[in-house]
């Protein structure tokens, strides 16, 4: 290791520090059908119908909803796959990631 000391790493920090987690955010829009959002959440995030419906309705009512948290790679891949599935069907559905506080 370089010996550089960053904000999140001190000389005494344990070597087993957990990786930073990233939230996957689901954004509302006026065009993607509710049922499609539910399908994508079930397929990409292994949610039940009930969970997916609740998350979809939260985004619909509040503008966005946190779907789940993952390590960076997994969060980015799932957000990209879900967004891509919507693009293939011509829907503007958007999922993005943001670091947890």
Q: Residue 13: what are its φ and ψ, rounded to 5°?
A: -65, 140
Give min distance, CB of 45 to ligand TYC, in A. 13
Q: Which of 24, 32, 52, 68 binds ligand TYC (CB under 6 A)?
A: 32
Q: How far is it, in rounded angstroms, from Cα 64 to Cα 28?
A: 6
Q: Which residues pair with 1 in a beta bridge?
A: none
Q: How far is it, in rounded angstroms, from Cα 24 to Cα 52?
A: 14
Q: Residue 60: what are its φ and ψ, rounded to 5°?
A: -60, -40
Q: Which of 21, 25, 27, 80 binds ligand TYC (CB under 6 A)?
A: 27
Q: Which of 24, 26, 40, 75 binds ligand TYC (CB under 6 A)?
A: 26
Residue 81 has which token pair? 């796959």
Give min distance, CB of 37 to ligand TYC, in A. 5
Residue with tokens 């693009």: 87
Instruction: Annotate each residue in 51-90 with x if it binds ligand TYC (CB under 6 A) or - if it does not, as one string.
Output: -----x--xx------------------------------
Binding region for ligand TYC (CB under 6 A): 26-30, 32-34, 37, 56, 59-60, 93
């Amino acid at each position: 290791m370089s010996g550089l000391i960053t904000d999140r790493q001190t000389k005494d920090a344990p070597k087993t520090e957990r990786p930073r987690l990233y939230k996957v955010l689901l954004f509302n829009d006026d065009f993607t059908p509710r049922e499609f959002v539910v399908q994508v959440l079930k397929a990409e995030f292994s949610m039940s119908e009930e969970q997916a419906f609740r998350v979809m309705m939260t985004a619909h009512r509040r503008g966005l909803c946190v779907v789940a948290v993952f390590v960076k790679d997994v969060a980015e891949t799932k957000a990209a796959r879900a967004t891509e599935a919507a693009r293939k069907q011509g829907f503007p559905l958007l999922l993005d990631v943001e670091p947890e506080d």
